[in-house]
Every structure is written in C-alpha cells, then in structure tokens.
Amino acid sequence: MVDQVLLQQVKAKANAWLSGDYDADTRQKVQELLAKEDPTDLIESFYKDLEFGTGGLRGIMGAGSNRMNIYTVGAATQGLANYLKKEFANLPKISVVIGYDCRNNSRLFAEKSADIFSANGIKVYLFPELRPTPEISYAIRKLGCQSGICITASHNPKEYNGYKAYWSDGAQVIAPHDKNIIAEVNKVSSVKDIKFKGNPALIEILDDKIDDNYIQDLLTLSLSKEAIKKHKDIKIVYTPIHGTGITLIPRALKALGFENIIGVPEQEVISGDFPTVKSPNPEEAAALKMAVEKAIATGADLVMASDPDADRIGAAVRNENGEFVLLNGNQTLLVFIYYIITRWRELGKLTGKEYVVKTIVSTELIKKVTKKNSIKLFDCYTGFKWIADVIRQNEGKRIYLGGGEESYGFLAEDFVRDKDSVSACMLLAEIAAWAADNGKTVYELLQDIYVEYGFSKEKGISVVRPGKSGAEEIETMMKNFREHPQTELAGANVIFIKDFANLTGTDTIENEQVTLDMPTTSNVLQYLAADGTKVSIRPSGTEPKIKFYIEIHSQVASREDIAAADAAADAKIEEVRKSLEI
C-alpha cells in the first residue's frame, strides 16, 4: 500500500526538478520517474534528501534529491566551500585537493566540484586521472591544503558513488567540523545557491611529482630490505578489480624490489561497471577468483587485491596443502601488527613510546600481542577517521606503528591519514619475503601467531535492508537488541555489555555500570561472554545493512591443533547466529 501523503509530497518535490534550473538530461530522467505506473523508484529517489553525513555522501546514482548526481554533489561542495571560507577567513589562500576513482561519473563529479570550489575563490589541485584514496590524503598534507575530497563509493556495488570529505591533516572530518559542514550543506536549499561556473585560473592539474613523492615516502617503511633482496623473485599476483590500484600498486611493489608481479589483464581494465565481478569487494572470495586462478596457473605464492579506490586490501595465501585460502581482515591485521612489532624489536627500534590502533570490532588477539610486547593499544570506533584521530592526539608524544580494522583496511604510515592498500600491499609482500627468509610461508606465520597468542576466528554477517522500510527495520532491530539483551552466547554467559550509544558498560555479574571512555557516542552494541566470545552489532554508516561481528576464542598447542579449533569455532559461530536469530 503506497502512502498517498508521501507520494504527493514526493511528486511535488520531483516537479520542482523540472524547472530550468536543472539540465535537460536530469529533467528527462525525472519525467520518466513521474511517468512510471509503479511509484517505488520515484519515492526512493525523492522521499528524502541524500544526507551529507559525518563521512560525506554515499548513494545510488541517478536523478533525485536522494541520489548521487551533480546537484547533490554540488550542494555538498558548496556547503563545504562556505564552511572553509568561514573557518580559514584569515588565510590569504584556501586550497583543496580533489581525487576520484574508477566509478561511472566520478570524473564528472570531481570536475563539477573543482568548478564550484574555484567559483568560490578556493584553489583546487585536481588529479589528472583516477588515483588511490590514500594518495588524496597524502597530497592534502604534502601540499599544505585546508581540505580535500575524494569521489568514491569504495567497494559498494556499481550503482553507487560517494563523496569523502577530508580536513587539513588528511583525515576524514570529525567533530566539530563534521557537524559544522553538515550545517552549511543543509543551508544550501536551492540549486541557485550553487556556484557552478568555475574559475579555470584556480584549478591546477597535478603532475607525476606527487606520485613519485608518495612512493618514495612509502619505501621508508620497509623493515626487511635484505629479505626482499634474497626473495625478490617471489611470484605475486595482483588485481586492482578494475580500480585505481593499477595506477600505483604494481609500480610501488617493483620500487620496493619485487620483480615478479603478475597481473590479471581482464581486471586491469579500468571500469565503473566492474565487468568481471558481481561486487568489487576484496572481502568476497568471488572478487579474487580470477586472481587465484592466475596464481594457480603461474605457480604464484601470494595473491593480493585492492578495492576500486585502493584503500582496502584482500589477500590469498597457500596453506599446508598448497591450496589457496583467503585471509580475512582480522588475519591480515594480526599478521601486519605482529610483523611490525617483531621487526622493530629485532632492529632495536623500540623505545617504549610506540602504539598501535585497532577498532572495537576487530580481533582481540591484537590486545594480547601488544600487551606481551609492552606496546600501548588504543581501541577506537569503526572507520579510519577515528584511527586518524588517535594519531592526531598522539602526535609528538608517541610513535605510531600501525593501525587497522577488520574490514580489510590497514595504515602502516602516519604521513597518510586514511587506510592505504598501496602501503599494505607493499607490507604484505615484504612479510612474505621475511617469512620465506625464516623458512615459513605467510600461512605458517599466521599459524605460529595462533600457537603463541591463542586461536581466534571471526565472522562478519550483514543483514541487508534497503530503502526507507529497510532503514526503519534496522532501527527496530537495534532497539530490540538493547531492550532484550542476550544473556548467553552459545552456552557462555554474557558478563559485560557495552552500549556505545550512551557510553554505558554493564557488568552483568556484579550488576554494576561504568562509563565507557570514548570521544563520542556511536550506535554500536557489544556483548562479551565469559569464554571470550564477543559479538558486536552496528548499522552500517555507508550501506543499507546492519552488521554483526562474531568472535570466538580458544587455545591451541601446535599448528596441528588449528584445524580442530577452526571447526569448533565454526560450530560455535552457528550457535551464536541462531541465538541472535540472524
């Protein structure tokens, strides 16, 4: 049953887009929506304004107020420009960096944004072609800019695009700037408020120098140069999955010293349609299928993939039977942190001031690794803007070793302030060389970490609920989990509940409450059981889904015990799923 009041409101809003303020193509598309007998698409396109949230914009491309198009992107850019002019009114020049990925309309949205910034008197540094998102962060810092944007929807399906806003430190905006920018964007109430006529004199196309500087700085992170020299011929298959990684990652790996980089030609074709995959997400096995097949055919040892904007890394390694298995985000995070700490210790670089950052939904094994090595660990919210915030707070006080999250993002350097698959691919290749130098594969290295620190298995489950009704259903699910909390997880009593929406921690044994030490609230609920099982629940901030993170722990005495521990963890995860009714 269609809500007739909502439908009339939507039609009125759509008819306003038929005015001469909008281009002919947009007007035509709106007419087609109005003419459809089924009003579903019309309602989805206009029932609300695409929200400029704390991470910027992300949505399906198309005509309408709830879609990614030159007008919603234009309003976001105009609002950001207005805020920058207020915040930096004392500067003689305000400048921004604009980058974009391979998606359909990314170049168009980037150029329109450049026009709007320049029309507002703001200097623009525009990348000449697609580039990895972390390089936009790097360029903001390198060029001394006040802000920057990247047009990308990360690993979302091809129908999506997005808009990430960055601050002067190269990190995505957080308080107070996020709310202040949102307020300015919301003031842009008419398309007439958007200055689309650019000033070409204020738009500078960046040259290759920024690429050269970025790669040279990444090379300084290397901790095992001799191992790389000895194992420079390791066969590595890399796929950009049609995205921006192709512009820099093969070049960076070769600059590091690796000579046997094998591509997947079909996936080196830059395309926003992602023709060889259903979803360009390196978290999914299907996205790495062609790369794994190439590795089998060529006898390669390691498979790596980056998502369309090259900030996330996916990987596959050979197990004890020579078969390829995918590493999940928690496993790559664990291997990265273990390696960096181990090498810093071996090289005598540790001073006692080092620290590591992980997100609250990432594996708790990181806590064991850092504790044993006397390294400070910071836990933060999901999203790299929070890892960047920890780096900002510790600048000049502590030494950053690395930080990451379970969703396949890692940052090895502090001269970038967003997750970086360029440096992550370089790091994983180096780890493979170092492991080989120690008579191990990457898979065996991971097994040995489990033997030393305990076995952990994590499972991420996403329940997708698109559209207006889906958003309401997700809200209801979160409410139910809060009002009717789990008392046990697969037979283990829940002993602590963390509700980050009100920063309250509840000890269910002592029936006591504590205040959680976090910078702000977040719509995340976490259950911790007596046997170490952890469940985290949160609605996605960028996709129409609610996410469940299940983590199971046990002890293993040897590599041979891991298979049984893994099977037991799978069974336990299924029990937890049933208890959560997902």
Contact 89, 141 (CB under 8 A): no
pLDDT tens per residue across span 138-150: 999 999 999 999 9
- For 119, other C-beta atoms within 10 Å of its C-beta total 18
State whether 355 and 247 are in the same domain: yes
State whether 436 and 302 are in the same domain: yes
Q: Strands, DSSP E only, in 169-208?
A: 203-205
pTM given for the model: 0.95
- Classify residue 70: in a domain, yes or no: yes
Q: Which of 453, 484, 506 is the last residue of a domain?
A: 453
pLDDT tens per residue across span 307-356: 999 999 999 999 999 999 999 999 999 999 999 999 999 999 999 999 99
State whether 443 and 470 are in the same domain: no
- Residues 333, 348: Cα–Cα separation, whole Å: 23
- Residues 411, 388: Cα–Cα separation, whole Å: 10
User: What's the CATH code of the domain at 64?
Assistant: 3.40.120.10
- Classify residue 242: in a domain, yes or no: yes
Q: Which domain holds residue 23?
A: 1-47
Looking at residue 313, its pLDDT comes to: 98
Q: Which of 32, 47, 62 is the last residue of a domain?
A: 47
State whether 381 and 494 are in the same domain: no
Give me the number of domains the chain comprises.
4
Q: Which of 180, 212, 244 is the last residue of a domain?
A: 212
State whether 41 and 59 are in the same domain: no
State whether 316 and 350 are in the same domain: yes
Do the bridges between strand 399-405 and strand 409-411 make them parallel or antiparallel, or are there none, so unpaired? antiparallel
Q: Is 426 exposed, middle or buried (0-12, 13-18, 19+ CB in 10 A)?
A: buried
Looking at residue 255, its pLDDT comes to: 98
Looking at residue 544, its pLDDT comes to: 82
Looking at residue 394, its pLDDT comes to: 98
- Residues 353, 396: Cα–Cα separation, whole Å: 10
Looking at residue 14, its pLDDT comes to: 96
- Classify residue 294: in a domain, yes or no: yes
Helix axes 442-453, 365-372, angle to 10 degrees: 80
Single out the catalytic residue among 95, 154, 306, 423: 154
Looking at residue 304, its pLDDT comes to: 98
User: What's the CATH code of the domain at 561?
Assistant: 3.30.310
- Classify residue 226: in a domain, yes or no: no
Active site residue 190: no
State whether 428 and 504 are in the same domain: no
State whether 55 and 19 are in the same domain: no
- Classify residue 517: in a domain, yes or no: yes
State whether 309 and 402 are in the same domain: yes
State whether 550 and 489 are in the same domain: yes
Instruction: Give the position of tokens 């990430």.
Output: 164
Spatial CA neighbour of 147 closest among 194, 109, 94, 198:
94
State whether 147 and 117 are in the same domain: yes
* Gap between the terminal Cα atoms of the chain: 27
CA 166-417-179 angle, 5° bins: 35
User: Residue 23 in 3-state DSSP?
Assistant: coil
Low-confidence ranges of the chain (pLDDT < 70): 1, 542
Looking at residue 1, its pLDDT comes to: 59
Looking at residue 52, its pLDDT comes to: 85
Pick left, alpha or beta for residue 257 (phi over 0 → left; psi -120 to 50 → alpha; otherwise beta): left
State whether 192 and 265 are in the same domain: no
- Classify residue 527: in a domain, yes or no: yes
pLDDT tens per residue across span 389-441: 999 999 999 999 999 999 999 999 999 999 999 999 999 999 999 999 999 99
- Classify residue 221: in a domain, yes or no: no
Looking at residue 131, its pLDDT comes to: 98
- Classify residue 344: in a domain, yes or no: yes
